[in-house]
Chains A and B, each alone.
Chain A
Amino acid sequence: MIENIDLIQSALPFLLRGTVVTIQLTFWSLLLGVVVGLPLAFAQVYGNKVVTFFTAIYERIARSIPLLVILLLINYALPMLGFRIPVFRAAVLGIGLRSSAYQSQIYRGAIQSVSGSQLKAAMSLGMNKLTAFTHIIAPQAIRIAIPPVTNESAIVLKDTSLAFTIGVVELVRQGDYFIATSNEPMVIYLTVAAIYFVLTTTINLALSLFEKKYKIPGIGIEGGHSDAY
Chain B
Amino acid sequence: MPTKHLLKIEDLHHSFGEDEVLKGISLALNKGETKVIVGPSGTGKSTILNNIIRLVPPVSGKIYLEDVEITSTKKINQIRQQIGFVFQDFGLFNHLTAKGNVMIGLTKVKKMDKKEAEKIAMEELERVGIGGFADSYPSQLSGGQKQRVGIARALAMKPKLILFDEPTSSLDPELTGEVLTVMRNLAQEGMTMLIVTHEMGFARTVADELIFMEGGHIIEQGPPEKLFKNPEHKRTREFLFKLTDLYGEGEE
- Give residues in A with beta carbon < 8 Å to B: 114, 117-118, 120-128, 131, 135-136, 139-140, 143, 216-219
Contact = CB atoms under 8 A, between A and B. Distances in A.
Interface in B61-91: 77-81, 83-85, 87, 89-91
A218 B139 contact: yes
Contacts of A135: 104, 108
A172 B108 CA distance: 51
Q: How large is the interface on B (under 10, 10 to 19, 20 to 34, 35 or more residues)?
A: 20 to 34
A216 B109 contact: no
Interface stretch (B92-100, B188-196, B200-208, B237-245): B92-100
Nearest to A143: B95
Given A139-B95, A143-B95, A217-B137, A124 B90 contact: no
B153 interface: yes
A118 B94 contact: yes
A119 to B, nearest CB: 8
B109 A136 contact: no
Residue in A114, A128, A217 with the greatest tally of chain B CB atoms within 10 Å: A217
Nearest to B101: A121
Contact of B94 (A124, A125, A127, A216): A216
B77 A216 contact: no
Contact of A126 (B92, B93, B105, B139): B105
22 contacts: A114-B94, A117-B89, A120-B55, A120-B91, A121-B87, A121-B92, A121-B153, A124-B84, A124-B87, A125-B80, A125-B104, A125-B105, A126-B77, A126-B78, A126-B80, A128-B77, A136-B104, A216-B94, A216-B95, A217-B139, A219-B94, A219-B95
Given A120-B87, A126-B109, A131-B108, A136 B139 contact: no
Nearest to A124: B85
A121 B153 CA distance: 10
B157 interface: yes
Contacts of B108: 127, 131, 135
Residue in B78, B80, B81, B91 with the greatest tally of chain A CB atoms within 10 Å: B91
Given A127-B109, A131-B108, 15 more contacts: A118-B94, A123-B53, A123-B55, A124-B84, A125-B109, A125-B157, A126-B81, A127-B105, A136-B104, A139-B95, A216-B94, A216-B95, A217-B139, A218-B140, A219-B139
A220 to B, nearest CB: 10
Contacts of A136: 93, 95, 104
Contacts of B87: 117, 120-121, 124
Contact of A131 (B81, B83, B109): B109
Interface string B34-48: 000000000000000
A184 B140 CA distance: 58
Nearest to A121: B91
B138 interface: yes
B26 to A, nearest CB: 23
B95 A124 contact: no
Interface in B137-151: 137-140, 150
A214 to B, nearest CB: 10
A117 B109 CA distance: 18
A121 to B, nearest CB: 3
Contact of B93 (A118, A143, A217): A118
Nearest to A140: B95
Residue in B83, B94, B109 with the greatest tally of chain A CB atoms within 10 Å: B94
Contacts of A219: 94-95, 139
A131 B106 CA distance: 13
